[in-house]
Structure 1
């Protein structure tokens, strides 16, 4: 190629690749980046915004704690189940088209979530349309990231991706604040707010002249079904363990059945010519280490938003807005450290940032857990900030390093892999920690009620009911009768709130352990960095394949 080289935009001058239908018109990088940030902002905000509104939703719709966890998990579960499919569809049909399709599915589902009717069908309604929201997000996000990669020159790509992930993290932090403000009006507004954001994203996408190069390959439908069913069954079994019991055959049938389907999926992918996921990318030790770090860190990152929010509103008696400010401690640390992590990535690679981030996160979550029973946000903020700093420091370097190791510059596919890992971990974390919290709360409340003179058998049943409904603010509706059970409960509300805080310690210590395992996974990373020449060669080969396919399609 001599001194003429591709910048990853399709030609040496940054023009769109042949066959994209937009020859001679270079994409507007600023508008494209803004459009994709608006598109993904809804996805990241919705990971946190619902957590703040959870008690208000429970109270109005009459959901149980486990029912609300199913609503939260439906979104994350659909994200995890369909992200790999979304990344593959983006590569096959074109990144711009899939971003638009995903955004439309997401915003329509948001409107329907905000329009949920009250009554017995409310929980099913929310679960269904939160799941379709997750499907829309799974289509839009990998395609949006692939657009950023395709329109930004190679020499600027590292900084652009770091900026993308930092801003995405900042938008995640906006969720609790926005949720607290909107919930004070109506919790339904947390879904309706996505409509104007989607309109802006779609308009900017149309104006940005984004190329729509694609890989017209066969879609691995059996693989898509296997991975979605495997992840879904596995998480469902863990999530329902608190209701079905760990000795229930149904619990283990779902957990083991899901793992079996995922094993069949891996075998299928290795044997098919055009797999949903090119598993050979895991031969790269660095890529495998990146994904392991993302998995174990996300076991803490996504669940902490839900459990910290509910803890603040129950044990600290905070309003939704105050709970949002409580979560802000975590995101202040996250925001500052994320910028630092991007700089470390550019100068020294991903491994130093991941090691420091996992170590800080582990310490932060452990100290935060230790302080939860003090029932004072003032005493907890330094540790919440430290935990957030650890996550912020590692998230962008691990994600960017993994994307840079794409095979044949198939950025949509590799993003699908990393985000599947992250969202599966998030759904799994909420399911596991939700089960832990329910059991720990029930056990401690039972001890409290027994100490108040309630018979052990009766205390056990009441404790289970309290554990299921505690996020619905039971102190707002204390029992009014004069029976011994009602008298014991009325006299134990302060103790029950402290019991709930102590039960949350198990959850937060579990998050600390997850970050400790993530630190061990960083030891697997060889410390190598993706060179510009290697990435450029992969991009050039990928573009030539895309051009041949596009020219053939145009001829037909």
Structure 2
């Protein structure tokens, strides 16, 4: 096959994989009120339907890259796409909330295996002078799917069925596998060993901590299972620390936090991801309280995701010209201001004012994530960049996991303790409070940026991240 044509097919394969991953992370929330009515799900179960996927990403995205190094990125990429496609079908066939939650977790595992290996395959398939362009193309197409995900989810839910949100992945994954087998060459293997003890203790620690926070209200904060989970999480974190000290190549290299630019970038990304997950509550509010259809609520939420399509190139130029600190500070200020704005105007149903707040929030988020990711990697050597990217990717997903767990816990506690108020009033008050909490987290990260963040100027080619 002609070399140029083969490169285009490789690019198409990687676009399909990444588009599926990012679309699936954002498409579900619009369908949750419908799923709740169909399956009789509780509010906590709805949160788990989103968080099980994000938790799997946070736990396994780092190990996906290391497995790719050991067994070959193509093999692990194929495994990830198989798992993703298979459990997408299982998600669509789910008849109980528990089934859907479990299947979403394994769907997330498939995504976690594809994210780092797809990036590695792109780097292997394209020479360095074409690599940035190829990354840009993949990122641009994925940005369109990210922006339109709420609208697509609303359209499918309203005019077809929520099941098709998952079924649509099956033929796409099958086509992606066909392209992978026919156009992607076998990749090199480094034979690098996985820090198995570090991986296991890390997974146990974060899994137990997430379950404890999510289920605290349901099981009781002072109940034996919750206390056991918190204790086991603490012990697992301690075990990971001792494992980390002894490992030659630790699962995640926490010594990177000693570097101030990386530490600040990590705090910024974690806080932004924490705040970003509040869109989960917005979509449900629009439908359950304001009476919007899935399609209309998806269209409204799309206002917050559209800036990723139009603003990303300008955010990169701003960081190139003035340094990453300027767009990060501007972005964090806009995000915090938008969340406070929405805390006042969203509950009272002012649609135009709500839309302005959503647009501002999306605008600020892109400024922050674009510059923070690149600045966290810029001052590290090549090997250090790989380790740092793996850790930042984990923090990005775990920020969303803990955001949903903590904001969800606050939301459920408030909603259940305001029984004397009417449903719309109690829900509106709760949505205001968690908007304020998210704003407070962003303000804390803004303080970190202003006080500690002193990055060096960035090169233009460093200002790109495949992940949103």
Considering the TM-score relative to the shorter chain, is it more than 0.5? yes
Aligned residue runs from structure 1 range 393-404, under 5 A: 393-403=367-377
The 8 Å contact of residues 328 and 368 in structure 2, kept in 1 or not, is answered as yes
| 2-structure distance, mates of 1:228, 1:205 | 30
The Cα offsets for residues 131-151 of structure 1, whole Å up to 9 and x where unpaired, read as 111111111111112233444
Q: Deviations over 1:254-289 (max 9, x none)?
A: 234324422421331232113222333333322222
- Equivalents in 2 of 1:533, 1:108: separation in Å? 37
Secondary structure at 1:240 match in 2: helix
Residue 168 (structure 2) pairs with residue 190 (structure 1)? no
TM-score (norm 2): 0.90
Counterpart-to-counterpart distance in 2, 1:437 and 1:367: 18
- 2: distance between equivalents of 1:376 and 1:532? 40
- Measured against aligned partners, the alpha-carbon deviations of 1:4-42 in whole angstroms (never above 9, x if no partner) come to xxxxxxxxxxxxxxxxxxxx9799554433322210212
1:363-390 CA distance string (max 9 Å, x none): 1111111112211322211111001111
Alpha-carbon separation, structure 2, partners of 1:266 and 1:174: 41
Partners of 1:91 and 1:413 within 8 A in 2: no
Q: How does 1:182-221 map to 2 (within 5 A)?
A: 182-184=156-158, 185-209=160-184, 212-221=187-196
8 A contact 1:105–1:133 mirrored in 2: yes
- Does 2:266 match 1:339? no
Equivalent residue number for residue 51 of structure 2:
73
- Please tell me whether the aligned partners of residues 80 and 112 of structure 2 are also in contact (alpha carbons under 8 angstroms): yes
2:86 is the alignment partner of 1:111: no
SS of the residue 1:447 aligns to: coil
Distance 1:62-1:532 versus aligned 2 partners, 3 A rule: closer
Contact 2:85-2:174 at 8 Å conserved across structures: no
Contact in 1 for aligned 2:316/2:460 (Cα 8 Å)? no
After superposition, what is the alpha-carbon deviation per residue over 1:58-99, rounded to whole angstroms, capped at 9, x for unaligned? 111111111121222111111111122112112222222222
Corresponding position of 2:344: 370
* Structure 1 position 225, deviation (Å): 0.7
Match for residue 91 of structure 1?
Answer: 69
Q: 1:424 aligns with which of 390, 398, 402?
A: 398
1:525 aligns to 2:453 (yes or no):
yes
CA distance in 2, matches of 1:320, 1:274: 47
Count of aligned pairs between the two proteins: 459
Structure 1 equivalent of residue 287 of structure 2: 313
How far has the Cα of 1:170 moved from its partner?
A: 3.2
State the alpha-carbon separation in 2 of the partners of residues 400 and 228 from structure 1.
27
Shift of 1:233: 0.5
The question of whether the paired residues in 1 share the 8 Å contact of 2:66 and 2:192 is answered with no
User: How has the CA–CA distance of structure 1 residues 386 and 533 changed in structure 2, closer, same or farther, with 3 Å as cutoff?
Assistant: closer
Across the aligned residues of Structure 1 and Structure 2, the Cα RMSD in angstroms comes to 2.7
**How many Å apart are 1:411 and its aligned residue?**
6.3
Going from structure 1 to structure 2, the CA distance change for 1:517 and 1:321 (only over 3 Å counts) comes to same
Normalised TM-score (structure 1): 0.76
Equivalence map 1:538-549=2 (5 Å):
none
Taking the aligned partners of 1:240 and 1:186, their CA distance within structure 2 comes to 29
SS in 1 for 2:221: coil
CA distance in 1, matches of 2:268, 2:87: 32
Distance 1:30 1:127, change over 3 A: same
Instruction: Name the counterpart of 1:447.
Output: 420
SS in structure 1 of the partner of residue 347 of structure 2: helix
CA contact (8 A) 2:148 2:306 kept: no
Deviations along 1:499-539, one digit per CA (max 9) or x if unpaired, are: 211210111111212221222233433222467999xxxxx
In our comparison, the structure showing a higher alpha carbon Rg is 1
Asked if the contact 2:375–2:455 (Cα under 8 Å) also holds between the matched residues in 1, the reply is no
| Secondary structure of residue in 1 paired with 2:420 | helix
Aligned-partner Cα distance in 2 for 1:345–1:148:
25
> What's the offset of the Cα at 1:325?
0.8
Q: Deviations over 1:88-124 (max 9, x none)?
A: 112222222222211111110100111113xxxx222
Query: Equivalent residue for 1:388?
Result: 362
Distance (whole Å) between structure 1 residues aligned to residue 190 and residue 380 of structure 2: 15
Does 1:499 find its partner at 2:404? no
Q: 1:434 aligned to 401, 404, 408, which one?
A: 408
Inter-CA distance 107–413: structure 2 relative to 1 (3 Å threshold): farther
| Aligned partner of residue 278 in structure 2, secondary structure | helix
The answer as to 2:437 corresponding to 1:510 is yes
- Aligned mates of 1:348, 1:206 — CA distance in 2: 44
CA distance in 1, matches of 2:295, 2:266: 34
CA distance in structure 2 between the aligned counterparts of 1:143 and 1:135, rounded to whole angstroms: 13
Could you tell me which residue of structure 2 aligns to residue 64 of structure 1?
Answer: 42
Offset at 1:210? Answer: 5.0
- Structure 1 residues 147 and 366, CA gap change in structure 2 (3 angstroms): farther
Q: Which blocks of at least 5 consecutive residues in structure 2 are unaligned? A: 463-468
Query: Conserved in 1, the CA contact under 8 Å of 2:70 and 2:191?
Result: yes
Q: 1:342 to 1:147 in 2, by over 3 A?
A: farther
Give the SS at the match of 2:36: helix
